[in-house]
Amino acid sequence: MKVGVLTGGGDCPGLNAVIRAVVRKGTQEYGYGFIGFKDGWRGVIQGRAVPLDIPAVRGILPRGGTVLGASRTNPFTTENGVRGIRENLAKYEVDALVAIGGEDTLGVAARLHAEHGIPCVGVPKTIDNDLSATDYTFGFDTAVGIATEAIDRLHTTAESHMRVLVVEVMGRHAGWIALHSGLAGGANVILIPEQRFDIDQVCAWVASRFEASYAPIVVVAEGAMPTDGDLVLKDATTDSFGHVRLSGVGEWLAREISARTGNEARTTVLGHVQRGGTPSAFDRWLATRFGLHAIDAVRDGAFGTMVALRGTDIVRVPITEATAKLKTVDPALYAEAGVFFG
C-alpha 297: how far from its chain's center? 23
Among 120, 284, 307, 308, binds a second copy (CB under 8 A): 284
Asked if 266 touches a second copy (CB under 8 A), the answer is yes
Q: What angle do CA 40, 43, 45 make, to 5 degrees?
A: 110
Cα–Cα nearest to 109, from 318, 327, 326: 318
* Least distance from a second copy to the Cβ atom of residue 116, Å: 27
Where are the strands (E) in 67-204, listed by range?
96-101, 120-124, 164-169, 189-191
Asked if 66 touches a second copy (CB under 8 A), the answer is yes
Site string for a second copy, 173-212 (x = CB under 8 A): -------xx-xxxx-------------------------x
Q: Which of 11, 104, 128, 130 is catalytic?
A: 128
> Using CB under 8 A, which residues numbered 119 to 138 contact a second copy?
135-136
73 has which bridge partners? Answer: none
* Least distance from a second copy to the Cβ atom of residue 64, Å: 3
How far apart, in whole angstroms, are the C-alpha atoms of residue 329 and residue 337?
11
CB 291 within 8 A of CB 18: yes
Coil vs helix vs strand at 234: coil
The answer on whether 42 is annotated among ligand-binding residues is no
Q: Is 39 a catalytic residue?
A: no
Asked if 69 touches a second copy (CB under 8 A), the answer is yes
What DSSP character marks residue 118? -
136 burial type by CB count under 10 A (0-12 exposed, 13-18 middle, 19+ buried): middle
* Least distance from a second copy to the Cβ atom of residue 152, Å: 6
> Using CB under 8 A, which residues numbered 138 to 157 contact a second copy?
141, 144-150, 152-157
> Using CB under 8 A, which residues numbered 2 to 61 contact a second copy?
10-11, 13, 15, 21, 24-25, 28-29, 58-59, 61
Identify which range of 79-87, 105-113, 195-203, 281-289 contacts a second copy by CB under 8 A.
Answer: 281-289
138 has which bridge partners? Answer: 125
Q: Which amino acids are annotated catalytic?
A: 128
The annotated binding site for substrate is made up of 126-128, 163, 170-172, 222, 266, 272-275
